[in-house]
């Protein structure tokens, strides 16, 4: 049972603890924002709602830590070059490992640590808190190979058409982030914030404390059809917009209204295609081009040749239009 507390003071203290331990963005969503919301009215899948973990949940705290820009860009740029000390057949896995370690794993651990510190703070103030891994789970299942765990298996039926067969994160930090006012979904199926575009990772903490909510984003952040660079940049074409009537996964919707804020994702990524990019294209780029190319919050400058060309093509008609207007 939650104790009474001043919501503003408690919220300030929770945000201060999160920031002191490394969160750069912190937002709060009241739990009723996990009811279906416009424009897409997605329902939380069973077992993934805040109340599934904490029946008395009243607030969800969303935390984010940005990926440093050179961490995101340099491995992709280096893939274009000869590396004097790394033979060509090792170069791609080497650079993927570099990006994975300092662009993902360090965030995974730090955000879990911050979640634990915020959870302990709430417990000390007399409240319950539930914390999560930053990324999906990878359970060991007897009789299934590693690949079958990731991609599903003919021995086991797919769950509601979901592509992540057994590796779902227990809770969607991206959906929590939009509900806590940190950003909106972009066409790349990632959450974009005003501060860092798609270049951050998220985690969430649930609590039975009533915290002061942050307002939802009110202006679009993703540039939508004016841009679409993330869709062009994906070499495997594994991102598709959900207004495609052929899409039948459980999040499908009738038709998108591009002028609304994407609290739910307007896109779908096929994770199996994404994971298999090196099998399909031995020269495929380092993971993350769908984020790397995004011109929010600013046009990226340190890019591999292929992304640089995509951005230049995008710039050309805009520059011509600007010239004509002058």
Q: List contacts with ligand SF4 (CB under 6 A).
A: 186-188, 192, 222-224, 227-230, 233-234, 236, 238-239, 269, 274, 277, 287-290, 293-294, 296
Name the packing angle between helices 7-20 and 106-124 (round to 10°): 150
Shortest spacing between CB 81 and ligand SF4, in angstroms = 20
Shortest spacing between CB 167 and ligand SF4, in angstroms = 15
Bridge partners (DSSP) listed for residue 267: 241
Shortest spacing between CB 165 and ligand SF4, in angstroms = 17
Shortest spacing between CB 23 and ligand SF4, in angstroms = 23
Shortest spacing between CB 252 and ligand SF4, in angstroms = 19
Task: Identify which of residues 28 and 79 has a Cβ nearer to ligand SF4 in the complex.
Answer: 79
Task: Identify which of residues 122 and 233 has a Cβ nearer to ligand SF4 in the complex.
Answer: 233
Task: Identify which of residues 151 and 289 has a Cβ nearer to ligand SF4 in the complex.
Answer: 289
Count of helices and strands (H, E) across the chain: 12, 8
* Those residues with Cβ within 8 angstroms of residue 173's Cβ, 6 or more apart along the chain or in another chain: 62, 132, 134, 202, 203, 204
Task: Identify which of residues 36 and 280 has a Cβ nearer to ligand SF4 in the complex.
Answer: 280
Task: Identify which of residues 19 and 306 has a Cβ nearer to ligand SF4 in the complex.
Answer: 306
- What does each C-alpha distance from 55 to 34, 51, 58, 171, 174 come to in angstroms? 13, 4, 9, 15, 21
Q: How far apart are CA 13 and CA 127, in angstroms?
A: 13
Q: How far apart are CA 289 and CA 307, in angstroms?
A: 8
Shortest spacing between CB 140 and ligand SF4, in angstroms = 25
User: Would you say 17 and 125 are in contact if contact means Cβ atoms under 8 Å apart?
Assistant: no
**Residue whose tokens read 């904490």:** 54
User: Would you say 28 and 50 are in contact if contact means Cβ atoms under 8 Å apart?
Assistant: no
Task: Identify which of residues 163 and 186 has a Cβ nearer to ligand SF4 in the complex.
Answer: 186
Task: Identify which of residues 53 and 164 has a Cβ nearer to ligand SF4 in the complex.
Answer: 164
Shortest spacing between CB 267 and ligand SF4, in angstroms = 8
Give, rounded to a whole angstrom, the gap between the first and last alpha carbons of the chain: 65
User: Would you say 63 and 18 are in contact if contact means Cβ atoms under 8 Å apart?
Assistant: yes
* Those residues with Cβ within 8 angstroms of residue 10's Cβ, 6 or more apart along the chain or in another chain: 125, 209, 211
Residue nearest to ligand SF4 (CB): 186
């Amino acid at each position: 049972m939650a104790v009474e507390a001043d919501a503003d003071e408690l919220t300030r203290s929770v945000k201060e603890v999160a920031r002191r331990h490394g969160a750069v963005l912190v937002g709060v969503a009241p739990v009723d924002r996990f009811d279906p919301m416009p424009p897409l009215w997605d329902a939380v899948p069973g077992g993934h709602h805040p109340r599934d973990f904490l029946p008395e949940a009243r607030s969800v705290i969303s935390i984010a830590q940005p990926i440093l820009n050179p961490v995101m860009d340099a491995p992709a740029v280096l893939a274009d070059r000869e590396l004097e000390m790394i033979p060509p057949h090792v170069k791609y896995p080497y650079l993927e490992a570099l990006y994975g370690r300092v662009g993902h794993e360090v965030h995974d651990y730090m955000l879990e640590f911050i979640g634990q510190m915020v959870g302990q703070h709430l417990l000390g103030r007399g409240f319950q808190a539930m914390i999560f891994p930053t990324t999906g789970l990878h359970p060991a299942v007897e009789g299934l190979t590693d690949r079958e765990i990731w991609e599903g298996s003919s021995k086991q039926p797919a769950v509601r058409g979901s592509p992540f067969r057994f590796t779902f994160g227990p809770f969607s930090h991206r959906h929590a982030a939009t509900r806590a006012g940190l950003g909106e979904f972009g066409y790349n199926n990632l959450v974009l914030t005003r501060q860092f575009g798609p270049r951050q990772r998220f985690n969430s903490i649930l609590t039975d404390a009533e915290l002061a909510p942050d307002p939802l984003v009110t202006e679009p952040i993703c540039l939508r059809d004016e841009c679409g660079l993330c869709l062009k940049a994906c070499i495997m074409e594994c991102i598709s917009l959900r207004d495609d009537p052929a899409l039948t996964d459980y999040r499908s919707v009738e038709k998108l209204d591009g002028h609304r804020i994407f609290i739910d994702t307007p896109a779908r990524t096929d994770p199996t295609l994404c994971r298999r990019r090196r099998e399909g294209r031995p020269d495929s780029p380092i993971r993350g081009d769908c984020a790397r190319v995004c011109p929010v919050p600013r046009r990226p400058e340190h890019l591999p040749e292929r992304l640089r060309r995509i951005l230049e093509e995008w710039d050309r008609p805009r520059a011509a239009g600007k010239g004509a207007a002058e």
